[in-house]
Amino acid sequence: MLRWVRQQLGFDPPHQSDTRTIYIANRFPQHGHYVPQKFADNRIVSSKYTVWNFVPKNLFEQFRRVANFYFLIIFLVQLMIDTPTSPITSGLPLFFVITVTAIKQGYEDWLRHKADNEVNGAPVYVVRSGGLVKTRSKNIRVGDIVRVAKDETFPVDLVLLSSDRVDGSCHVTTASLDGETNLKTHVAVPETAVLQSVANLDKLVAVIECQQPEADLYRFVGRITVSQQTEEIVRPLGPESLLLRGARLKNTKEIFGVAVYTGMETKMALNYKSKSQKRSAVEKSMNSFLIIYLIILLFEAILSTILKYAWQAEEKWDEPWYNEKTEHERNSSKILRFISDFLAFLVLYNFIIPISLYVTVEMQKFLGSFFIGWDLDLYHEETNQRAQVNTSDLNEELGQVEYVFTDKTGTLTENEMQFRECSINGIKYQEVNGKLTPEGFSEDSPDGNIHSLMKEEELFLKAVCLCHTVQINADQTDSADAPWHANGIASPLEYYASSPDEKALVEAASRVGVVFTGTTGDSMEVKSLGKPERYKLLHVLEFDPNRRRMSVIVESPSGEKLLFTKGAESSILPRSKSGEIDKTRVHVDEFALKGLRTLCVAYRRFTPEEYQEIGKRLHEARTALQQREERLADVFNFIERDLELLGATGVEDKLQDKVQETIEALRLAGIKVWVLTGDKHETAVSVSLSCGHFHRTMNILELVQHKSDSTCAEQLRQLAKRIKEDHVIQHGLVVDGTSLSLALREHEKLFMEVCKNCSAVLCCRMAPLQKAKVVRLLKTSPEKPITLAIGDGANDVSMIQEAHVGIGIMGKEGRQAVRNSDYAIARFKFLSKLLFVHGHFYYIRIATLVQYFFYKNVCFITPQFLYQFFCLFSQQTLYDSVYLTLYNICFTSLPVLIYSLFEQHVHPHVLQSKPVLYRDISKNAHLGFKPFLYWTILGFFHAFVFFYGSYLLMGEDTSLLGNGQMFGNWTFGTLVFTVMVITVTMKMALETHFWTWINHFVTWGSIVFYFIFSLFYGGIIWPFLHTQDMYFVFVQLLSSGSAWFAIILIVVACLFIDVVKKVLYRHLQPTSTEKAQMYSNRVALSDEFIALQPLSRARNQLSKIRWKKIRVQSAQHVTLLKAGTEGRTIGNC
């Protein structure tokens, strides 16, 4: 029983074997010894809560926050002992904060439940009892045969049994899983491929043995045993047989597959990586300030308790005649009385800790994040994509970035490949007018004529057309003679490929005369200069990142067995024994220097004996259930040797728009840019130079091709020495993957020293985990810089998740980087607006919000502390309990919230055109100790002016009413509270640079609301209140001219010093931001904002705007071309 309980709680998971056995159609053995394995059902659960655990689980998570837990303790203390304030004063704000947060989190989880129910309730068809049965997705069991139609999504992980094609193949796209939008081919084993009807499949008797579920999308090891009459046929199953949940069926009418992994055991569900909670620097500062204020609170409570007992040391004050102690009070323990008084003071001063700060910050982040999606400057019209916010917790972190780590392909470049050059048999060729022309030759012949190809050229192009994973649009392959017109010119076929390089190469080959026309069964068809040839596809040796190459074994029309292989030059050239190896190596380096992506192509002929040996080894490795990958790697290495080099290709990936300007702007902002790429050294350096990451005048240092620790360490020491000697000029560092591994092994400190002294760093030949390791290295260095990683592919996910801020590019490699990122944008150029405008605004807003909250609570509680000196520390409250409760919730909450959503202290165009302003807010400048100290001292100063100003003006002469009626303690407290509400609201108004009608409404409305509420609260006898201390107090206060004079005088006295300080500092010691404010004030731009609108409405309005020239009166007398609306920005946050 105990073990069962532990298993249910997840502490003691049940033992699982390494493999699972699946009986197709759930035809279990009839003998009595078989015990069926238990598998998960097919429900997907992405929600966090259930109806039953929402309340306890949510409360537990919320009370893990220090402030919430602290207020809970205070509330309990108020319930247990006699305290000066009602428990409602702590309980109501706590209840408000907990409720608002619970509603927000509950709503988000309800949306997740809704999405889960939609997925789990989707209709599917399964084969049961000899027919197709319609059921819900959640009812699918392991072993069920499922039918999936064209363009439908696979509801489980399926092993393909058959399709509508004779060869049992189908095409799928896995964009929602790994981000690859191109078609992939999957094939069924021959024994089940022929079973294309429900009746035949219902008779199938077969067993699948496969590995237990794992997250790797590209790994599947299994075998299927098919019983046919008296014999059993065993076939291997690999990734090419597995159809993953979330993938979509394309170009295939229907398929049948058997469910092997269901529900939360599918590879898609196992890849739901629970992202580690990223915390911003502002949140850490906030917690530090909270601890400091807790110390202030404890100090005030202890001091008040000590002073109380010091005062009561005199007998006349210990037990005055008007307040005699009871017998119980005289006999009670002094220690208990001291603790009780300390807790009472703690309750009295507890509002110095701003409980509503957390909920206001959450609302600010949540609402503020919408402005990024609404910003039309971040909208990409060509792809119809706008910026996306996946987490709103890091908005202000966008304004603190010190290092940017970027991928190259698809992030800095377009990921649109164009064939430029190739090297065949040691001769460089270019494509001219649809012909391969040797370098230096010019072809003037017209396009229409088919030219002859030399034997080496034709073999090279055939290798390119046969060694790939390219597919052709099914509609085109079905039409006869589609690839060629009557005049012999190739008409363009629509190719699909998982690699843009492969697609570019196959398209280039078709243009120069060798056309890949598709696959039929196990045959690949090629037309060489109009002459069709059919090659039988015998084996595919799939690409993997360790080998960095892929191969196919085919049988030529003449019956010859050939191996064609292509891959990185580092994996092909060492395995080549013949061909123009040296010349090709030189050509590859030349291509790389031009910024081209390079691949080498080679082939090998097999004798019948060699092929027989290879076939035997491949079959043994592919049917192995244990260590299949290692065995296959050994066999692949055995096959791919003694190659004959055919040549190399050079494909160009052009830069994205405005990449150079963006990188330069980042550099001006004080942000260091590191490029992390898997490309070869020369290609990466060339692209870095062209995009402005490296300058032509920069001294390029290299740490590449090191094989041992000693040589790597020596090179690092030499680089460090060179940097010290040439400290005047800028340096750029190039590191490759192998050298990086050596440098990080034992010389991490030296490597970091070299990197930090370089203006730009380029890491090439990087594996995905190495990218994440580099980010972690910088992130955890002693300076703890804020890092940002940006990429577009599945290989960038680990880097994106490791950085403080992760940004996904919505590129051609799909959505995996976008799904795992914190923010997503369509192009790299949008990064400058995201950081310099949105990041700058968010940081300034939340920095002011946090410090203002602490300031206004110091203003709130300090008069309470000072009042104790006038009431013998009797714990008498200065304010009414309703005012205590509503101060943070109603009277002062909205102005700061609206400020934190709309404030623009500098014009957005100025921020983007002057990246250097970003330096003013770097390193958490506005939430450091000095600004915090200023706001805290200001709070204490204002509190002293509130209290002693009111006391000096009205404390000595209490008969200030016209009828001679005297003021009491509640009138005095209300006067202090009134002055305080007006002053802290006006202080927020002084901090506001950008006024909208909403700011005016909440600022002046808050003050008006306070007056109206106080008049109603004090003007009516409320039957549900036990005491009505405030009855007619506020009305009498306002009827006194002296009170009005005191209110105006104290408010002016408080804010006058603030105004003087701002004016003096702005004119005598202006910061670059303040100079920019004065500059932006001269910009004659209208503020016709398209704020807080859906994107579609904003775009409609935007199309109606006429652009006009606006003269800018500035030091440079620049004429800007701007819109009547604020720079195409919605909301301009």
- Of 701, 752, 753, 751, which Cα lies nearest the Cα of 729? 701
- In sequence order, what are the residues at sequence separation of 6 or more whose Cβ sits closer than 8 angstroms to the Cβ of residue 1068? none
Phi, psi of 528 (to 5 degrees): -100, 105
Which DSSP helix (H) or strand (E) runs through 187?
strand 180-187
Tokens of 696: 């032509």
Q: Are strands 403-406 and 413-424 parallel, antiparallel or unpaired?
A: unpaired
- In sequence order, what are the residues at sequence separation of 6 or more whose Cβ sits closer than 8 angstroms to the Cβ of residue 56? none
Dihedral over Cα of 868, 871, 876, 879: its sign: negative
**Do 916 and 668 contact (CB within 8 A), yes or no?**
yes
Hunting for tokens 């080498």 — which residue is that?
Answer: 600
Interhelix angle 334-349/840-867, nearest 10 degrees: 140
Torsion of CA 957, 960, 965, 970, to 10 degrees: -80
Helices (H) and strands (E) in the chain, counts: 41, 37
Amino acid at 836: F
Burial of 365 (0-12, 13-18, 19+ CB in 10 A): buried
* DSSP assignment letter at 492: P
How many angstroms separate the CA atoms of 1018 and 182, rounded? 72
Q: What is the pLDDT of residue 986?
A: 94
Q: What is the pLDDT of residue 182?
A: 63
Q: Where are the beta strands (DSSP E) in 999-1116?
A: 1108-1111
How many angstroms separate the CA atoms of 330 and 772, rounded? 68
Task: Write the DSSP assignment of 193-245 as a string of letters.
Answer: HT--SHHHHHT--EEEEEEPP-S-TT---EEEEEEETTEEEEEEE-GGGEEPT
Hunting for tokens 């602290």 — which residue is that?
Answer: 70
Q: Are strands 222-228 and 427-432 parallel, antiparallel or unpaired?
A: unpaired
Tokens of 46: 């992405």
Q: In 3-state terms, what secondary structure has residue 667?
A: helix
Q: Which of 407, 501, 653, 792 is catalytic?
A: 407
Burial of 644 (0-12, 13-18, 19+ CB in 10 A): middle
Q: What is the pLDDT of residue 1090?
A: 35
Q: What is the pLDDT of residue 489?
A: 40
Neighbours of 989 (CB within 10 A): 17
Tokens of 980: 């305080």
Phi, psi of 191 (to 5 degrees): -65, -30
**Do 953 and 1043 contact (CB within 8 A), yes or no?**
no
CA 532 to chain centre: 50
Half-sphere exposure of 973 (CA within 13 A, CB side): 25
Q: Is 407 a catalytic residue?
A: yes
How many angstroms separate the CA atoms of 716 and 722, rounded? 10
End-to-end CA distance of the chain: 58
Q: Are strands 805-809 and 787-791 parallel, antiparallel or unpaired?
A: parallel
Q: What is the pLDDT of residue 732?
A: 87
Round the CA-based radius of gyration of the chain to a whole number and report it. 37
Q: What is the pLDDT of residue 263?
A: 87
User: What is the model's pTM?
Assistant: 0.72
How many angstroms separate the CA atoms of 743 and 444, rounded? 54
How many angstroms separate the CA atoms of 878 and 978, rounded? 12
How many angstroms separate the CA atoms of 832 and 19, rounded? 51
Amino acid at 467: C
Amino acid at 423: S
Q: What is the pLDDT of residue 1070?
A: 78
Residues 837-874 as b/e (b if ≥16 CB within 10 A, e otherwise) read: bbbbbbbbbbbbbbbbbbbbbbbbbbbbbbbbeeeebe
Half-sphere exposure of 1002 (CA within 13 A, CB side): 20
Tokens of 478: 């079905």
Q: What is the pLDDT of residue 343?
A: 84
- Of 540, 517, 559, which Cα lies nearest the Cα of 468? 540
Phi, psi of 926 (to 5 degrees): -90, 0
Q: In 3-state terms, what secondary structure has residue 675?
A: strand
Tokens of 380: 């990409």
Q: What is the pLDDT of residue 422?
A: 92
Amino acid at 507: E
Q: What is the pLDDT of residue 476?
A: 53
Q: What is the pLDDT of residue 1128?
A: 37
Q: What is the pLDDT of residue 659?
A: 85
Tokens of 56: 């306890």
Q: In 3-state terms, what secondary structure has residue 566?
A: strand
Hunting for tokens 């082939």 — which residue is that?
Answer: 603
CA 473 to chain centre: 35
Per-residue pLDDT tens for 209-228?
998 888 777 788 888 998 88
- In sequence order, what are the residues at sequence separation of 6 or more whose Cβ sits closer than 8 angstroms to the Cβ of residue 572? 549, 565, 566, 600, 601, 602, 643, 645
Q: Which residues pair with 600 in a beta bridge?
A: 567, 648
Amino acid at 71: F
How many angstroms separate the CA atoms of 764 and 868, rounded? 68
Residues of the chain with pLDDT under 50: 1, 3-4, 6-15, 179, 273, 444-450, 477-491, 1083-1133
